[in-house]
A and B are shown apart, each in its own frame.
Chain A
Amino acid sequence: MRLEPIANPSLARSTLPPVLAIVATVVVASLLAMLAGANPFAVLGLILKGAAGSQFAVLETLNRATPLIFTGLAVAVAFRARLWNIGAEAQLYAGALMTVVLGTGVLSWPAAALLPTLVLVSMLAGAVVLLIPALLKVRFGVDEVVTTLLFNFIFLLFISLLLEGPLKDPMGMGWPKSERLIAEARLPRIIEGLRLHWGFALALIAAGLVWLVERRTTLGYEMRAVGLNREAARFAGIPVNAVLIKTALLSGGLAALAGFSEVAGVKGSLTLDLSPGFGYTGIIVAMLALLNPLGVIAAALFVAGIFVGADSMSRAVGVPTYLADIMLATALLLMVLAILLTRFRVVRG
């Protein structure tokens, strides 16, 4: 079997494989639902309803999509430069940590000054967390996949240590949780009365800015060049190491915003269960979006919808929520295959 590039793919060739990937995912989900003894159509219907079937559902999906847009952007930016940032989870918590350190009363500024400060400091913390594995890669050639992964475990333990120690809320009845943010550190709602906070708007703005950077700035050009062919980029004079470091700073900062947004917009304090794996899910979002920043928004909404819908469906008919994760893993694997098949044909010998 051999792969041959297709010079001018037809419209069918460009659209059919991804569509089939989605269809196959739905089929897999249906089979698994039947295995759980449920009616597949009912299950799929409930997922859709739970994701977008009511104002409450839609808002819930948008809220759940917010951190996913941030981590999706973080991963997309890094992967674009072939920097395998699997540590978005730790960077997210770094952002959450700084939000809580500075936002629980240390700085008593008005919101207009405090919120941007928290944004900046969070981004800095996330950038520093990814900087360490990035430097190890650039200096020592240590593969960043494993170092960023291991960092997730280390950082989470670090957070646990702080939450049981210096950051512990004395009024928290013994639970490891931080103090609550002051009012000025909370992200306000976009529309009064609706449960959607400004984090969502911030995420959309971030996506737009990342798109602008990638398409219109020299840094974006450099990141793409380094990602596609590091050796040719180096030969041409592009400062590869500097580009990788800048990419790491940007990626880490974006992931940290997810932490900031969750703490300042939703939870109001820091606990160990702040993130049910947003950092890892961001990888799926980025891949489904084909690393395109604007695509990340759509992919994040899709993924959030599946999770929110699955939660609601599970409460209704009892099919385990892990169905959502299986669907996403299947979608991811099939989608990368489908994308390949839009550009290459399979030929014998």
Chain B
Amino acid sequence: MTGADTAQVVLRLDRITKRFGALTANDAVSLDLRRGEVVALLGENGAGKTTLMNILFGQYTADEGQVMVMGRALPPGNPRAALEAGVGMVHQHFTLADNLTVLDNVTLGTEPLWRWRSDTAAARAKIAKLSADFHLAVDPDARVGSLTVGERQRVEILKALYREARILILDEPTAVLTPQETDDLFATLREAVAKGLSIVFISHKLHEVMDIAHRVVILHHGKVVAEMATTDTDRHALAAAMVGSEVSAPRVAPGTPGAPLLQLHAVTTPDQGSAPGLKSVTLSLRAGQITGLAGVSGNGQAALADLIAGLSVPASGRLDLGEADLAQWSPRAAVEHGIARIPEDRHKTGTIADFSLTENAILESYHKPPMSRAGWMNWPRAEAETQAIIKGYDIRCPGPDTRIRLLSGGNMQKLILGRVLEANPCIILANQPVRGLDIGAVNYVHEQLLKARDRGAAVLLISEDLDEIMALSDVIHVMSEGRLSPEFARGSMTPAELGVWMAGHGFDEGLAHAS
């Protein structure tokens, strides 16, 4: 590889500043990217990484500062100009149209709209060549809606390469991949670099950054706080620079397991489109224990969460809550049986954006005393309870009447926590509980889960973040295509070994649960 210091600067961000009302998302950020370089943009959630990349890609306009590509200033706020200048972006949330084929998605927008006919033959040939050159195997005529997450990401990358991107931006690309798929992705990226592309890689995963990047730029609260070559540093220094102080992960003492509180016996549920249902899953959640569920999203976690949350019933097999008879299973029944549910998406499922904090706090309890009596609401009582939650969980807000949409993600999550934990639940379903939160909120949520565990609750932690699972769980299962792996005790498996199960191979070797 040519010496990084002398290679040409292909991308320069010059004192980029972006404000959203009172919040300064990017504060005079400057960054250089040289040809053939992989620069990692590191920072916790809310540090301003995605905003910066959106400005680069033209989806936002910076308030101050300039973007220069290959020495020329990029017209701001214009994704088309960015694409034409050779900037390609692989978004964190894929920008693909499910009802169209791979070929359609890749060629979308690449031909002038006034063209009378699309040239599919040429497009096909070009995609075939790119697939071969960059190890991105994909069927051009497949409907994107039927592809796996890994395959969809390949389409996203193909989109950028098809448009002859010289600069590739990847936003948290490994969040949805198994360890093996991550290796494949890195192979693709190394191939790209060898062919002269330059890469900006956004991540919060320190070991990956050390693996793939030449240089790291660290953002904290919108400012660049450090910049270093990966050869000159290590993960601890990176973590410290990210948070601005020495990071100490909470010391997690092992739990003391008690009786099983919730059991699934060979439960099967039907598939929902491309989301697999449960395939004869047997699972036991014990009191005083955190059970971690690892796995790439879309492998049946939603089916499991829906089942335990009361949104679905087993098609075959049994859900066992230790009571004699489970007459009618529903979300309300789940709440009645002491299950606290923290949903995956606090905006879509966990809260009602235009309801006040009070109205959100009573979503699960409004129909019984003390919140209401014989159909008549007791608003003063509801407000008082909400005040208690606000104090108890340190929720930053103007008051219980505030519309919850005005709160930050972390404060919203705290309200959800408060709402479900106040009832002293014996089973907690925590589905991606810290997604999108800053490190302060992450630690808070983890603390609450550990406290609940120590009080005797059974916690099911579903997360895409293997680090989180491995740090907090007493026992770990892996989910792949609706199948559940055997239980692994804390500390007994390495990430790579878990990765084998995440990719589905552990099941094939006949080590799967007996049905």
Direct contact between A and B in the complex (CB less than 8 angstroms)? yes
> Which A residue sits closest to B309, measured CB to CB?
A235
On whether the beta carbons of A349 and B331 are closer than 8 Å, the reply is: no
Listed in ascending order, the chain B residues whose CB lies under 8 Å from chain A are: 20-21, 60-61, 76-77, 309-311, 330-332, 334-335, 341, 343, 348-355, 359, 363-364, 366-367, 372, 375-377, 379, 405-406
Contact A232:B350 (CB < 8 A) given known A218-B366, A221-B366, A225-B363: yes
Contact for B331 among A218, A224, A234, A348, CB less than 8 A: A234
Which B residues are CB-close (under 8 A) to A225?
A: 352, 355, 359, 363
On whether the beta carbons of B60 and A349 are closer than 8 Å, the reply is: yes
On whether the beta carbons of A228 and B61 are closer than 8 Å, the reply is: no
On whether the beta carbons of B332 and A7 are closer than 8 Å, the reply is: no
Contact A217:B330 (CB < 8 A) given known A7-B406, A237-B364: no
Which B residues are CB-close (under 8 A) to A228?
A: 352-355
On whether the beta carbons of B377 and A221 are closer than 8 Å, the reply is: yes
On whether the beta carbons of B311 and A235 are closer than 8 Å, the reply is: yes
Which A residues are CB-close (under 8 A) to B20?
A: 4
A221 CB to nearest chain B CB (Å) = 6
Q: What would be 13 A-B contacts, judged by CB atoms less than 8 Å apart?
A: A4-B20, A5-B405, A5-B406, A7-B406, A217-B375, A221-B377, A225-B355, A231-B348, A235-B309, A235-B331, A236-B363, A237-B335, A237-B363
On whether the beta carbons of B343 and A235 are closer than 8 Å, the reply is: yes
On whether the beta carbons of B341 and A235 are closer than 8 Å, the reply is: yes
> Which A residue sits closest to B310, measured CB to CB?
A237
Query: How does the 8 Å CB contact mask read for A165-202 relative to B, with 1 for contact and 0 for none?
Result: 00000000000000000000000000000000000000
Which A residues are CB-close (under 8 A) to B353?
A: 228-229
Which A residues are CB-close (under 8 A) to B330?
A: 237, 239
A272 CB to nearest chain B CB (Å) = 40
> Which A residue sits closest to B78, measured CB to CB?
A349
Give Cα distance in the complex from A236 to B355, angstroms: 14
How many residues on A have C-beta within 8 angstroms of the other chain's C-beta atoms?
24
On whether the beta carbons of A218 and B377 are closer than 8 Å, the reply is: yes
Which B residues are CB-close (under 8 A) to A348?
A: 61, 77
On whether the beta carbons of B21 and A4 are closer than 8 Å, the reply is: yes
Q: Given A225-B363, A235-B343, A349-B61, 13 more contacts at CB 8 Å?
A: A4-B20, A4-B21, A225-B355, A228-B353, A229-B348, A229-B351, A231-B349, A233-B352, A235-B309, A235-B341, A235-B350, A236-B363, A348-B61
Contact A232:B363 (CB < 8 A) given known A216-B376, A237-B330: yes
On whether the beta carbons of A235 and B349 are closer than 8 Å, the reply is: yes
Which B residues are CB-close (under 8 A) to A232?
A: 348-352, 363
B337 CB to nearest chain A CB (Å) = 12
On whether the beta carbons of B311 and A234 are closer than 8 Å, the reply is: yes
On whether the beta carbons of A236 and B375 are closer than 8 Å, the reply is: no
Give Cα distance in the complex from A164 to B385, angstroms: 62
B377 CB to nearest chain A CB (Å) = 6
Give Cα distance in the complex from A238 to B363, angstroms: 8
A 307-349 contacts with B by CB, 8 A: 348-349
A7 CB to nearest chain B CB (Å) = 6
Q: In terms of DSSP, what is the predominant structure of the interface of chain A?
A: helix
B302 CB to nearest chain A CB (Å) = 12
On whether the beta carbons of B352 and A216 are closer than 8 Å, the reply is: no
Q: Taking the complex as formed, is A35 at the interface, i.e. its CB lies under 8 A from any CB of chain B?
A: no
Give Cα distance in the complex from A225 to B21, angstroms: 29
Q: Taking the complex as formed, is A219 at the interface, i.e. its CB lies under 8 A from any CB of chain B?
A: yes
Closest 8 CB pairs of A and B: A237-B332, A349-B61, A236-B363, A349-B77, A237-B331, A229-B352, A235-B349, A228-B352
Contact A236:B376 (CB < 8 A) given known A225-B352, A225-B355: no
B357 CB to nearest chain A CB (Å) = 14
Which A residues are CB-close (under 8 A) to B331?
A: 234-237
> Which B residue sits closest to A215, measured CB to CB?
B377
> Which A residue sits closest to B22, measured CB to CB?
A7
On whether the beta carbons of A218 and B375 are closer than 8 Å, the reply is: yes
> Which B residue sits closest to A235, measured CB to CB?
B349
Give Cα distance in the complex from A298 to B343, angstroms: 42
B275 CB to nearest chain A CB (Å) = 15
B404 CB to nearest chain A CB (Å) = 11
A344 CB to nearest chain B CB (Å) = 12
Give Cα distance in the complex from A161 to B355, angstroms: 47
B425 CB to nearest chain A CB (Å) = 14
B411 CB to nearest chain A CB (Å) = 14
Which B residues are CB-close (under 8 A) to A224?
A: 355
Give Cα distance in the complex from A52 to B91, angstroms: 61
Which B residues are CB-close (under 8 A) to A234?
A: 311, 331
On whether the beta carbons of A236 and B364 are closer than 8 Å, the reply is: yes
Contact for B372 among A218, A231, A239, CB less than 8 A: A218
Give Cα distance in the complex from A217 to B355, angstroms: 16
Which A residues are CB-close (under 8 A) to B76?
A: 349
Contact for B367 among A4, A7, A218, A235, CB less than 8 A: A218
B6 CB to nearest chain A CB (Å) = 36
On whether the beta carbons of A216 and B377 are closer than 8 Å, the reply is: yes
B128 CB to nearest chain A CB (Å) = 38
Give Cα distance in the complex from A302 to B335, angstroms: 47
Which A residues are CB-close (under 8 A) to B372?
A: 218
Give Cα distance in the complex from A7 to B22, angstroms: 10
A323 CB to nearest chain B CB (Å) = 36
Which A residues are CB-close (under 8 A) to B311?
A: 234-235
Which B residues are CB-close (under 8 A) to A221?
A: 359, 366, 377
> Which A residue sits closest to B374, measured CB to CB?
A218
> Which B residue sits closest to A220, measured CB to CB?
B377
Give Cα distance in the complex from A90 to B309, angstroms: 40
A126 CB to nearest chain B CB (Å) = 22
On whether the beta carbons of A7 and B21 are closer than 8 Å, the reply is: yes
Which A residues are CB-close (under 8 A) to B310?
A: 237
Give Cα distance in the complex from A217 to B375, angstroms: 5
A64 CB to nearest chain B CB (Å) = 34
A24 CB to nearest chain B CB (Å) = 27
B394 CB to nearest chain A CB (Å) = 21
A282 CB to nearest chain B CB (Å) = 24
Which A residues are CB-close (under 8 A) to B332?
A: 237, 239
Give the interface centre of A231, A237, A348 by most chain B CB atoms within 10 Å: A237
A 221-270 contacts with B by CB, 8 A: 221, 224-225, 228-229, 231-239
> Which A residue sits closest to B364, measured CB to CB?
A236
B100 CB to nearest chain A CB (Å) = 24
B64 CB to nearest chain A CB (Å) = 14
Which A residues are CB-close (under 8 A) to B355?
A: 224-225, 228
Which A residues are CB-close (under 8 A) to B376?
A: 216-218
B37 CB to nearest chain A CB (Å) = 29
> Which A residue sits closest to B377, measured CB to CB?
A216
A 132-186 contacts with B by CB, 8 A: none
Give Cα distance in the complex from A220 to B367, angstroms: 12
Give Cα distance in the complex from A323 to B32, angstroms: 64
> Which B residue sits closest to A345, measured CB to CB?
B21
Which A residues are CB-close (under 8 A) to B343?
A: 235
Which B residues are CB-close (under 8 A) to A229?
A: 348, 351-353
Give Cα distance in the complex from A237 to B341, angstroms: 11
A225 CB to nearest chain B CB (Å) = 6
Give the interface centre of B77, B376, B377 by most chain A CB atoms within 10 Å: B377
